[in-house]
Amino acid sequence: MTDHAADVPVRNSVLGGSATRTPPARLGVAVVSDLVAAIVTGELAPGDALPPESTLSQRFGVSRTVIRESVKRVEEKGLVTVAQGRGTTVNAPTAWNVLDPIVLSALVDHDDTLGVLDELSIVRGSLESSMAAAAAARQNPQRSADLTRAFEETERTMNDIEAYADADARFHYLVMEQSGNRLAANITQILFQRARVSRRFTGTASPEAVQLTLEEHRAILDAITAGDSEAASRAMHDHIARAWERRRPTDRRPTD
């Protein structure tokens, strides 16, 4: 497995320190990213008030207009509530739009216990197993041939880690497409695509792990092309759970 610390970006505190930041070219993007990270990490807790515009303006080295627009973007993501005369208050996590790319990235990047990635795998398992069942029910010769070709591509690329990872993703995406459930497919792809860029999610694929994944994909393929929805659902659910368990660093467990 890869080193956890190497996957977590170093971030200056939004509230701490007195030095003015040297802002990058896209000022608003940087401010939004740091505010989201401060909330996701708990530096700004639910119920906390954001510092005044003047304080944030000095801290980030940008104008109050940039701060105002950035806070508006953060509000649109569900992380804060702006109330006239009462300032800006941090919302509880239940209000956050966790499928927003910036929010999801912050959750994954600062997931010290890997609890978010654990939850992501559970959600994937639930959604993808239902889509595998639906794909099995909708099979026809063309779809079966397409899915078989996608599986065979993973076999051909098993000795090239990057090509194999892409082929693996395409196999899953094709199952989603064949399910006909566009909403479930969209949600799952958002989660999966962001998780794939995290080294803690992908881990280091050993030849043994790749072989096990291929065997699990074969079971999914066989069940779907046979039109066996129950077996397809079970095979997909078991595969996602087992694959994550193989990749998951053993020294990072969620705490109560």
User: Do 149 and 69 share a structural domain?
Assistant: no
Q: What percent of the chain has pLDDT over 90?
A: 71
Q: What percent of the chain has pLDDT over 70?
A: 88
CATH number of 217's domain: 1.20.120.530
| Structural domains in the chain (count) | 2
User: Do 187 and 69 share a structural domain?
Assistant: no
User: Do 157 and 69 share a structural domain?
Assistant: no
Cα(71)–Cα(69) distance, integer angstroms: 6
| End position of a domain, from candidates 66, 95, 124 | 95
User: Do 195 and 121 share a structural domain?
Assistant: yes
User: Do 227 and 161 share a structural domain?
Assistant: yes
Assigned domain for 163 exists: yes
The answer to whether 9 touches 111, Cβ cutoff 8 Å, is: no
User: Do 147 and 86 share a structural domain?
Assistant: no
Distance of CA 203 to the CA centre of its chain: 15
User: Do 242 and 116 share a structural domain?
Assistant: yes
pLDDT at 79: 98
With cut-offs at 50, 70 and 90, classify the pLDDT of residue 206.
confident
- Nearest CA among 231, 118, 237, 217 for reference residue 170: 217
CATH number of 34's domain: 1.10.10.10
The H or E element containing residue 30 is helix 27-40
For 64, residues 6+ apart whose C-beta sits below 8 A from its C-beta are 53, 54, 57
Assigned domain for 198 exists: yes
User: Do 226 and 121 share a structural domain?
Assistant: yes
Q: How many helices (H) and strands (E) does the chain have?
A: 11, 2
- Nearest CA among 152, 181, 222 for reference residue 173: 181
Assigned domain for 104 exists: no
pLDDT at 201: 78
The answer to whether 194 touches 97, Cβ cutoff 8 Å, is: no
| Average pLDDT for 187-216 | 86
Cα(25)–Cα(3) distance, integer angstroms: 31
pLDDT at 256: 37
Assigned domain for 256 exists: no
Q: Residues 80-135: pLDDT tens digits?
A: 999 987 889 999 999 999 999 999 999 998 888 889 999 999 999 999 999 999 99
User: Do 59 and 128 share a structural domain?
Assistant: no
Q: Which domain holds residue 125?
A: 111-247
Assigned domain for 214 exists: yes
User: Do 64 and 116 share a structural domain?
Assistant: no
| Average pLDDT for 230-255 | 84
User: Do 119 and 91 share a structural domain?
Assistant: no
Q: Cβ of 111: how many Cβ atoms within 10 Å?
A: 24
User: Do 47 and 149 share a structural domain?
Assistant: no
- Say whether pTM exceeds 0.95: no
CA angle 203, 256, 100 (to 5 degrees): 55
Cα(177)–Cα(86) distance, integer angstroms: 47
Assigned domain for 20 exists: yes
* Predicted confidence (pLDDT) at residue 143 exceeds the cutoff of 50: yes
| Average pLDDT for 30-34 | 94
* Predicted confidence (pLDDT) at residue 21 exceeds the cutoff of 70: no
